[in-house]
């Protein structure tokens, strides 16, 4: 009885190890089953889903116009204080003074990509971009100004 048990254990142990070896052997010989992506080399074919939240961007159209009215909803909705909007009074062609954004400061180093600013924006001025390679050598480069120089508010957004 003891001998039977002893050899039974050895047999079962070897069998269980061979079962695992068989599986690894299968993948060793079936190269087409490999799904590893060689990341830095496959940048050209890399597909990032449209919804992926990588950074906050402010789209500008061909006339260098954006949709941000400077209402600061995003600034209030941000849990981390990532966004700082500096506004100024601009004299319009009809002579009236109106509030316009001067600089739209985005601290990427403080952003956790929760996307709450995009949800809060009433004019769809900002959205989440797909860029994810954010590494830089100096932290100060992560402070970004999203409105382009000399950009204007698009006509009709405010109404």
Q: Which is nearer to other proteins, 110 or 113 (CB)?
A: 113
Look at the block and give the residue holding tokens 């004019």.
123
CA distance 108 to 117: 13
Closest approach of other proteins to the CB of residue 147, in Å: 24
146: left (phi over 0), alpha (psi -120 to 50) or beta: alpha
Pick the closest to residue 134 from 153, 113, 152, 154 (CA basis).
113
Q: With contact defined as beta carbons under 8 Å apart, do 83 and 105 qualify?
A: yes
Q: Which is nearer to other proteins, 47 or 91 (CB)?
A: 47
Q: Which is nearer to other proteins, 19 or 155 (CB)?
A: 19
Closest approach of other proteins to the CB of residue 130, in Å: 10
CA distance 150 to 63: 11
- Site residues (CB under 8 A) for other proteins, limited to 30-89: 35, 49, 51-53, 77, 79
x-or-dash string of contact with other proteins, 81-100, rule CB under 8 A: --------------------
- Which residues are CB-contacts of 33 (< 8 A; sequence separation ≥ 6)? 27
Q: Is 142 in the site for other proteins (CB under 8 A)?
A: no
Q: Is 156 in the site for other proteins (CB under 8 A)?
A: no
Q: With contact defined as beta carbons under 8 Å apart, do 74 and 117 qualify?
A: yes
Q: Which is nearer to other proteins, 77 or 87 (CB)?
A: 77
Among 42, 64, 103, 119, binds other proteins (CB under 8 A): 119
Residues within the interface to other proteins (CB under 8 A): 12-13, 16-17, 19-20, 22-24, 35, 49, 51-53, 77, 79, 112-116, 119, 128
């Amino acid at each position: 009885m003891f001998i039977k048990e002893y050899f039974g254990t050895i047999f079962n142990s070897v069998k269980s190890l061979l079962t695992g070896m068989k599986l690894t052997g299968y993948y060793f010989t079936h190269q087409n089953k490999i799904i590893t992506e060689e990341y830095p080399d496959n940048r050209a074919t890399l597909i990032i889903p449209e919804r992926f939240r990588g950074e906050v961007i402010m789209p500008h159209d061909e006339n260098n116009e954006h949709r941000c009215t400077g209402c600061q909803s995003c600034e209030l909705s941000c849990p981390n204080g990532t966004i700082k909007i500096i506004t100024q009074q601009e004299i319009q062609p009809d002579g009236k003074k109106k509030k316009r954004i001067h600089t739209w400061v985005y601290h990427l180093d403080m952003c956790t990509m929760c996307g709450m600013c995009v949800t809060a924006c009433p004019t769809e001025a900002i959205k989440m971009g797909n860029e994810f390679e954010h590494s830089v050598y100096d932290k100060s480069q992560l402070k970004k100004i999203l409105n382009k120089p000399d950009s204007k508010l698009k006509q009709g957004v405010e109404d």
